[in-house]
Chain A
Amino acid sequence: MKTDTINQAEVGMSPAQLVLKRKWTDTLRVTLRAVVKVKGGLWGGIFISIMLICAIGAQWISPSDPNAQDIMHRFAGPSLDHFFGTDYLGRDIFSRIIYGCRIAVMVAFGAVTLSSIVGVFLGVVSGYNEGKKIDYFIIWLFDIVRSFPQIILALAIVAVLGPSLFNVVIALAFTAFPFYGRVARAQTLSVKEADYVKAAEAMGLKPLKIISRHITPNIMAPVIVCLGMDMATMIVWESGLSFLGLGVRPPTASWGIMLRNGYKYIQTSPWMILWPALAIALAMIAFSLFSEGLRVALDPKERER
């Protein structure tokens, strides 16, 4: 591996070893570089970038207002005016797909951020207090939430709180935090025996400070790998919940809502289902290519095969 950011001592180390050695931002950069080198990882990265650009710049990229109705031209097939055709209210499907990126990214990003913050905090606390009562309590909590089939739990929470963008994020985050928690706990168990943690303890630092300053920064790399993979799942679930009418509220352009509308007109207007289905599939392919690249880049055994 030849990169300018690595000093002499680290030449020849695998990204996995670097993870243990370097600050997590450096690790991230080195890892990303390795991912892009894996066949497929680059394509995943490109697709994800396009999606992010669409999400951020939806109002400049999309040719028309996603909610502008044109009743005269409803159920139109693809044409130069409407690249992907129009839906049952004559809204431009292409624009709605682009705005749908924004919802997908927002929900997925919000949910993984929230759940990883909660999960990592609980996981680190539990790992640091291994064998104590609080450790058992947190493990119990993780196991309870993990016992539910995830999407069904999310469905129940949204059903109780009422469907909205914010509640979808809360529900998805709640179903996912134990997974981050378990990764963080396992990492903490190995990191807390390190000399620098022992040194910090000997200096009399408070546990909370040790956790936040010395442990958490050193366990972030595997958590970030999980984040990447989880984004894809969250995108699927957001559209799933919206498809059931228990997600983002219409008229917001969400891929799930578009599928829901398409389902109603499946007999007459196949375009309404095809485009959002394709968008979801592309997003999934992008994320799985990317996380596959991530896995290969972090696993030295894989790289030899």
Chain B
Amino acid sequence: MLKYIIKRALWVIPTLLGVLIILFSLTYLMPGDPASAMLGPRATPELVAELNQRLHLDRAMPVRLGYYLLGVAKGDLGTSVWSGHKVSSLLAEALPHTALLALTSLGVAALIGILLGAFAAVRRDSPIGGGVTIASLLGVAVPDFVAALLLMLLFCVQIPILPALGAGAAGDPIDIAVHLILPATALGIGWVGYLARLTRESMLDVLDADYIRTARAFAIPRRAIAYRYALKNAVIPSITVIGLGVGKLLGGAVFVEIIFSRPGIGKLIVDAVYARDFPVVQGGILVATILFVLANLAADISYAFVDPRIQYD
């Protein structure tokens, strides 16, 4: 297993190298001269020349790629064309907001979803199973940005009880929590139903397994069998899905942050896209991608730990 983990972890390096090359080549896809495109129609030739030099845009392609990779390796993601701030510090400022939003919504959704799914499987003939299926269908049906808009319409406009915009005053936990309710719900609501259904299905499989029957023959309490013996194996598919879902979560965070006007990586990227501030777009996407890659790695490795039956070569 150790060999598998090392191999899997090392594979991240060429993948991230490829990611950097793609991010770098995106600048070449920009129509026209990137410097004047970034500076807008009112740029003077001097400004364009200066930016060209600062971003090494006047050099040959391989040289530029070299500069770019070297910079990223040193943790230097360039400076914002728009504000002049360092991209890395802009990202460091935005990241905690996105992390709070994503972790809250995923954590709560996973807890509720998995327990609900397990419960629905244990009481397999009760209407809860059907309820879980319908809930998961609705969760899939309403994409996060539509959910965000509908929640905003309902709880900020029709029944104005929750704040619509911003992340709350820094240092005031209650204000921050109140501002988190709607965005986190919008982002996590689809996951509850999805994870519930996934857990219910795999739990139904597991409950039919021989070792569960053996446990039952040993007169171990029903509840202990279900939640200590069966759930541990039934939760495996959810782990993979959550790992893959981090990408979806980050994508959803883009919309939720825009709609609720919350600071964060997603808002940073989209605002930079509007402003044609390419270094910020590049840096933001790079950080989001690294997070996604690491989440997948963690999911794969934990998968190997949770289910020792899986063999790797």
Contacts and interface: CB of A to CB of B under 8 A. Distances in A.
Interface of A: 140-141, 143-145, 147-153, 155-157, 159-162, 236, 239-240, 243-246, 259, 262-263, 266-267, 270, 273-274, 277, 280-282, 284-285, 288-289, 292, 305
Contacts of B15: 140, 143-144, 147
Contact of B259 (A162, A236, A263): A263
A251 to B, nearest CB: 20
Interface string B233-274: 000000000000011101100110011000000100110011
Contacts of A152: 250-251, 254, 266, 269, 285, 288-289
B119 interface: no
B191 to A, nearest CB: 15
A153 B281 CA distance: 10
Interface stretch (B57-65, B135-143, B217-225): B135-143
Instruction: Give chain B's interface residue range (CB within 8 Å of chain A).
Output: 35 or more
A262 to B, nearest CB: 7
Given A147-B293, A155-B273, A280 B16 contact: no
B143 A144 contact: no
A79 B196 CA distance: 41
Contacts of B137: 285, 288-289, 292
Interface stretch (B47-55, B79-87, B148-156, B305-313): B148-156
Contact of B254 (A151, A273, A280, A281): A151
Given A161-B29, A240-B145, A288-B141, 4 more contacts: A149-B247, A240-B143, A245-B274, A284-B140
B128 interface: no
Contacts of A273: 149-150, 153
B140 A288 contact: yes
Given A144-B15, A149-B248, A160-B30, A155 B146 contact: no
Nearest to B284: A152
A245 to B, nearest CB: 8
A63 B150 CA distance: 27
A186 B99 CA distance: 35
A37 B153 CA distance: 38
A144 B146 CA distance: 29
Contacts of B143: 236, 239-240, 280, 284
B146 A280 contact: yes
A155 B270 CA distance: 8
B31 A162 contact: yes
Given A143-B11, A243-B145, A288-B137, A270 B18 contact: no
B234 to A, nearest CB: 16
A148 B273 contact: no
Contacts of B248: 149-151
A244 B266 CA distance: 12
A157 B26 contact: yes
B214 interface: no
Interface in B27-41: 27, 29-31
Nearest to B293: A147
A221 to B, nearest CB: 23
Contact of B292 (A149, A159, A263): A149
B103 interface: no
Contacts of B254: 151-152, 155, 244
A244 B255 contact: yes
Contacts of A150: 247-248, 251
B2 interface: no
A147 B285 contact: no
Given A156-B26, A284-B142, A288-B140, A147 B270 contact: no
B45 interface: no
Contacts of A236: 143
Q: Which of A147, A243, A244 has the most CB of B within 10 A?
A: A147
Contact of B146 (A153, A270, A277, A285): A277
Contact of A267 (B19, B157, B273): B157
A143 to B, nearest CB: 5
Contacts of A162: 31
A149 B270 CA distance: 14
B262 to A, nearest CB: 15
B161 interface: no
Contacts of A282: 141
Given A147-B19, A277-B150, A285 B269 contact: no
Contacts of B258: 244
Nearest to A40: B137
B285 A148 contact: yes
A285 B270 CA distance: 29
A289 B136 CA distance: 11
Contacts of B31: 161-162
Contacts of A239: 143
Interface in B3-20: 11, 14-16, 18-19
Interchain residue pairs A-B with the least CB separation, the first 5: A144-B18, A151-B251, A149-B247, A284-B141, A159-B273
A145 B22 CA distance: 9
7 contacts: A147-B289, A149-B246, A150-B247, A156-B273, A156-B285, A280-B142, A284-B140
Interface string B203-226: 010000000000000000000000
Contact of B255 (A243, A266, A280): A243
